[in-house]
Amino acid sequence: MSAEPGTVRPGGRTARVRTAVLRAAGDVLAEQGFDRLDLAEVARRAEVGKTTVYRRWGTVTALVADLLADMAEQSLPRTRTGAVRDDLRANALLVQRTLADPRQGALFRAVIAAAACDPRTAEALRHFYAVRIAEWAPCVSEGVARGELPVGTDPATVVRAVSAPLYYGLLTTGTAPDPAAAERAADAAVAAAQAGVYAAPVTPVTPT
């Protein structure tokens, strides 16, 4: 089926190729890990010419960096319930569903493993988390503004505290978190924030 001239917006084919290639790259990563990612295999799965993939991405690390950029662009907006605990529970459940999903969980493990060995992937991963944390940080600052959390609470640290136990369990034991773990992660972050743990250094620390 070919479109009428002028009915496909500029970039339409380019965007479709990108979507197909990134989907295929994510599938290979989730199924086989970073080591087995190969541009020719990705092209075959995406039903896109090999030359296109080599010309546009060039290397496996560039392809993974673009996949992470796309995941950051596509990721869901934050929740706004009007209560910090409910917002952070929604965040925790979103992280939990992602990590417990067989494809997404395996994809994150593969990308985090790749970032341990490859600086470009590490940079792309940092960018991905920076985008996600910036998206959810207002849940905390609004909670501070409403008086639910102490003044001076650091929003990014609280958002990271919600994700941390969910990722830690997956990465060190291979066990995906369940919804109860997600709610516990959110409630723990709120309890610690309410106790002032994320508002100021606990004790003076001398850098050594």
Q: Does 165 bind its own copies (CB under 8 A)?
A: yes
> Distance (Å, rounded) from C-alpha 10 to C-alpha 86?
42
Q: Which stretch binds its own copies (CB under 8 A): 14-22, 44-52, 63-71, 163-171?
A: 163-171
> Distance (Å, rounded) from C-alpha 128 to C-alpha 116?
15
Q: How far is CA 42 from CA 20, 33, 79, 120, 203, in A?
A: 9, 13, 35, 19, 51
Q: Does 150 bind its own copies (CB under 8 A)?
A: no
> Would you give the binding string for its own copies spanning residues 50-89, x where CB under 8 A is met?
----------------------------------------
> Would you give the binding string for its own copies spanning residues 166-185, x where CB under 8 A is met?
-xxx-xxxx---xxx--xx-
Q: Amino acid identity, residue 54?
A: Y
Q: Which stretch binds its own copies (CB under 8 A): 8-16, 43-51, 52-60, 159-167?
A: 159-167
Taking alpha carbons only, the member of 66, 64, 62, 89 closest to residue 78 is 89
Q: Which of residues 105-134 bind its own copies (CB under 8 A)?
A: 109-110, 112-117, 122, 125-126, 129
> Distance (Å, rounded) from C-alpha 91 to C-alpha 77?
10
Q: Is the dihedral of CA 196, 178, 167, 108 positive or negative?
A: negative
Q: How far is CA 207 from CA 198, 200, 204, in A?
A: 19, 16, 10
> Distance (Å, rounded) from C-alpha 93 to C-alpha 186?
9
- Distance of closest approach, residue 34 Cβ to its own copies, in angstroms: 8
Distant-in-sequence, close-in-space partners of 131: CB < 8 Å, separation ≥ 6: 72, 75
Give the number of residues in contact with its own copies, rule: CB under 8 A: 46
Q: Which stretch binds its own copies (CB under 8 A): 8-16, 54-62, 76-84, 104-112?
A: 104-112
Among 88, 155, 163, 176, binds its own copies (CB under 8 A): 163
Residue ranges in contact with its own copies by CB under 8 A? 33, 35, 109-110, 112-117, 122, 125-126, 129, 157, 160-161, 163-165, 167-169, 171-174, 178-180, 183-184, 187-189, 191-192, 194-195, 197-198, 201-203, 205, 207
